[in-house]
Structure 1
Amino acid sequence: DANPAQAALIGLLNLSCLGLGYVVLRNWIGAALCWAATVALLVLALPADVDGVPAGLLIGYGAFLLLAAADGARRGLRATLSLGASFRRLALPLAVVLLAVPAGGSLAYGAARDEAKEQALLERLSAADAQVKSADGLAFDKAEPILAKALDEYEDLGTNKAGSRAGKLVPARLDAYYESVSAPYEKKTYCEAIAPLKHLRGLGGTFDKDLLGARPAKTDEPLAHSLYECGTAALAVATATPTAAASLNELLGTFPKSAHATRVEPAVRAAVKKRTDVLDSAPDPCVLTVELRTLRTTLNDMTDASLEGITREAKEGVQRGDFACGTDQFKDKDYDDATKTMTEYAKEYPDSPQAAHARSIAIAAEIADEEPAAGKSLPPSEVPGGARMILVVSNDGPGAVDLLYTGPMTGKVTLKTCATCTKYPGPILSQGKKIKACQGPASKYPKTTLLLPAGDYHFLQKRGGSPTVAGDTKTSKVKIEPGYSYTNCLYVTSGF
């Protein structure tokens, strides 16, 4: 006869995933199929991973269990079982209890899969930490792309996986990130710290604000400090990168109310004063002048109105420095550089009270470059008073000639070329005969008259004109005595 209770028992026993209904029926083929299906599921599902078991496999296995239960119920409906009465009373409760096997296994598997997900997230967090560490010691422009990848991981874990163990660790990692990236500031390498600190401050505009909290704002003080230190250290350094103006302009523009912004004007003023105060006594005023010129350029590139007064001081310092530099070059017998420096000074500052003296020093240096005795002392800054003696200079030679002189008075005159004059024979062709220059009519020769105070003078004539006489230079020494008039005739001889 049909036994529905027995059919239900066999069906429930087969739902346990162990094929026990078939075992009771002694249907070993059915039991083996159930065991094979369960073993195959375990092999494919274990160990648990992040992705879990494919849905198709679970659906297939569930369908198989239902079929096994239905088949077992069908077979058990009219089967004759050799079971004792006591077992029959316990069989149904046992079958129900055994249903906990698949349910418990499912729960255990879910927990294992969740742990696998947690471990995968922790591995992502560790990989991001490793990227941050790998950027240590790199120049920031090379480190930034690496750091950006780590930040993407932190942001995803901290927002989309905030409840995970890895997500809960992200705030601590961000603290470590800020500490690592701002390390140059802690090491007091202020110029190197600017780019990383700007990066950290700028994260507020690109990173999740709730996750970042107040961290970007905490970089304001270090960044302002770094801009100040980097800028003031570069004030007199022409090759500094970044330039002093770039750093200080950014400081004044970005943090105008910071304590460091108020320090800019005194620092720049002190840098200028430090150099201008010792210009006249420095062993090498040329170096100070180069630094002052760099300071002047920096100030010209700065836009803050409070620096206008210092800019004027720097310009005046450069002018003083140029003169002091040229004077020092003359005293050090560096006549070529002294000539260039003082000539440029006279051109750049034509209205300066020292412009005339600068021209005199340039002339004296040019003479001393050919005749060192002319550089024993600087030309006087003022033309001496008293009686003047006449010196008439004539040009009896082809090509215009510049005549430079220095002594109690320094100057330069240019005589035009003598169109009809030629070279005189040299020592060999003249056979020792005395050259008689300027013997023609006075009107023939271009001439000029100098009125000179008494004293010893050095002369330098520099002739230009045709290639055969251009570049011809000659030096001479003349003693001008009171009460006398003098003449000097300039001529050219051949080389033989």
Structure 2
Amino acid sequence: MPTAPPPAPASPWRALAVALLNLSGLGLGYAVVRRWWLMGVCWAATAVLLLVALPADPDGVPGAALVLYLVLLALAAAHGASVGLRTRLALLPSALIAAVLGVVLLAVPAAGVVLYDGARDEATERMLLDRLDRADALVATSGKQDFASAEAGYRRALSAYGALSDDHPDSRAARRVPDRLRTYYETVAAPYAREDYCSAVAPLKYLRTVPRTIGTKDLGDLVGWPDDRLATSLYSCAAASLSAGSEGWTTQFGELLSTFPRSAQAGKVEPAVKSAVDKAVASVGGDDPCAAVQRLDGLDTQVRGLPGEQAGVADALGKDADRASRSARSGGYACGVHQYKDGNFADAVTTMNDFVRDNPHDGNRARAQKTAIAAEVAQTVPAAGKHLPSTASGGSIAVTVKNDSPDDITVLYTGPVTGSFTLKGCASCTSYSLGTTLGLGFKPCSDSGRHYPQRTIHLPVGTTYFVHKSRTNTSKTPASDTAKLSPGYIYTECAYTTTGLGY
């Protein structure tokens, strides 16, 4: 007897049927030709593919695994066709029925592909929703910090929202982005909702840059959402700083006038500046006129730097600056008096001299000149600064001042009458040594052969304080004299220079 049945006649339909049954991935073609171990290989390959592919991942099946599996299917189909060409079928009555069944069973891998694609799409949707949730959590966390610390987190969240909209526009996550953006805006602008306007400026300025990252379709009416809020914050913060005398208000008012020149908030800038100038002008008559003058000087410079052209308030702001400047100049007198009364005589001299220079027609100019002289005397003789000088002049007592010094000198005096004058230096005079001035017979201005530069003034009865200062060498120490003038006498003051002990 033969060892095996004789081969069947060649049948292309049988070969096709076995190949089609193997393409299902279940090795059924091998089953109908009784090649059970080869069917097992097909089942094992399909099981390995399922283990690799499931659960569905957004990245899909690894390419190498898919290619290897398809190669195995192709080899199984080709080998099955070769075997089925001359092998009788078992389990099925005819090759035609087997071929039809093979075509029907091709729906199994096709349905698997469809189902897998659906599962993969769902996995992608879940991944995108996870990204959306992470961006939402980042916004919520950043909202608990100050903007400087939170800005980096806000930018990362915004980038995530933008990527979802741009890269996956048809996803469920992308459709939720517009609602998330509204929450995003409200979170970033939370300081404005709390009426913390100074803290709201930076985040609102940042929100105006969001359209560079997110399209206007997703933003909708959020595109212009920060504008009015930013204008309000700029005005409110600057107005509060201006009222408190703090720094920074010019930058914020300047930005408001430049960025939103036609806004209602920009229209409030000039009235706020005018009110600040009014307040500073009124303060000149208060307890600290020097601070008021300093404030007016600052307002003069700061207001002139505001860009009011686009908002149509440049002329009004210029008038406010001019008024601040005039008030600062005229307020110098009150400041000088305040300094004089406080004993700040050096400052009073500077302030009053500046006032005299800057206000040639002011009614207080004459008294300011007198006060400057008295303050200069008081720097050497503090007792001279106990009272403000009057504008009185003249008197019944003659006082002659002679200059026994080679230096040109300035003579200042204050008391019932205040004034000053200069005397030329004595050409033939020299400085006295310290030892000479200490001698019992020392008497300057007594050389009858010399012509001493001199001047006679008339003063009233009372105490007058004199100070002699060198005009030739201002580093020399001034001399002083306190003269108690009585009626019936003629007085002489003598100025001379002493040197010794190395000076």
Question: 8 Å contact 2:18–2:81 — kept in the other structure?
Answer: yes
Q: Find the partner of 1:298 among 275, 299, 302.
A: 302
2:318 equivalent to 1:308: yes
Other-structure match for 2:392:
383
Shift of 1:77: 4.2
- State how far apart, in whole Å, the 2-side matches of 1:389 and 1:264 are: 62
Other-structure match for 1:347:
357
- State how far apart, in whole Å, the 1-side matches of 2:333 and 2:449 are: 42
Other-structure match for 2:173:
166
2:249 equivalent to 1:244: yes
Number of residue pairs matched? 487
Residue 208 of structure 2 aligns to a residue whose secondary structure is: helix
Other-structure match for 1:394:
402
Other-structure match for 2:277:
272
Shift of 1:299: 1.3
- State how far apart, in whole Å, the 1-side matches of 2:126 and 2:457 are: 101
Deviates more, 1:47-56 or 1:89-98: 89-98
- State how far apart, in whole Å, the 1-side matches of 2:360 and 2:144 are: 54
2:421 equivalent to 1:417: no
Question: 8 Å contact 1:236–1:292 — kept in the other structure?
Answer: no
Other-structure match for 1:317:
327
Residue 365 of structure 1 aligns to a residue whose secondary structure is: helix
Other-structure match for 1:115:
122
- Gaps spanning 5+ residues in structure 1: where? none
Other-structure match for 1:226:
233
Q: Find the partner of 2:42 among 34, 45, 56.
A: 34
- State how far apart, in whole Å, the 1-side matches of 2:128 and 2:190 are: 28
CA gap of 1:429–1:74, structure 2 versus 1, over 3 A, is: closer
2:484 equivalent to 1:475: no
Shift of 1:225: 0.8
Shift of 1:171: 0.8
CA gap of 1:133–1:290, structure 2 versus 1, over 3 A, is: farther
- Gaps spanning 5+ residues in structure 2: where? 1-7, 309-313
2:359 equivalent to 1:358: no
Per-residue CA shift, 1:104-139, capped at 9, x if unaligned?
A: 321222122212322332343344445545655777
- State how far apart, in whole Å, the 1-side matches of 2:437 and 2:61 are: 120
Shift of 1:19: 0.9
Question: 8 Å contact 1:125–1:153 — kept in the other structure?
Answer: yes
Residue 26 of structure 2 aligns to a residue whose secondary structure is: coil
- State how far apart, in whole Å, the 2-side matches of 1:82 and 1:165 are: 52
**CA RMSD after TM alignment:** 3.3
Question: 8 Å contact 2:404–2:494 — kept in the other structure?
Answer: yes
2:288 equivalent to 1:288: no
Shift of 1:181: 2.1
CA gap of 1:143–1:335, structure 2 versus 1, over 3 A, is: same
One-letter amino acid of the structure 1 residue matched with residue 319 of structure 2? G
Shift of 1:432: 5.2
Per-residue CA shift, 1:424-477, capped at 9, x if unaligned?
A: 455x656752422212247621223334445431112223656xx942222222
Deviates more, 1:134-143 or 1:225-234: 134-143
Per-residue CA shift, 1:153-180, capped at 9, x if unaligned?
A: 3223123312112211211221122122
- State how far apart, in whole Å, the 2-side matches of 1:329 and 1:431 are: 38
Shift of 1:20: 2.1
Q: Find the partner of 1:184 among 187, 191, 201.
A: 191
TM-score for both structures, normalised by structure 2: 0.85
CA gap of 1:246–1:98, structure 2 versus 1, over 3 A, is: same
Question: 8 Å contact 2:330–2:359 — kept in the other structure?
Answer: no
Question: 8 Å contact 1:387–1:482 — kept in the other structure?
Answer: no
2:221 equivalent to 1:214: yes
Deviates more, 1:347-356 or 1:361-370: 347-356
Per-residue CA shift, 1:40-90, capped at 9, x if unaligned?
A: 3234333432222355654553343244234324423443455487x9999
- State how far apart, in whole Å, the 1-side matches of 2:396 and 2:257 are: 61
TM-score for both structures, normalised by structure 1: 0.86
Question: 8 Å contact 1:404–1:412 — kept in the other structure?
Answer: yes
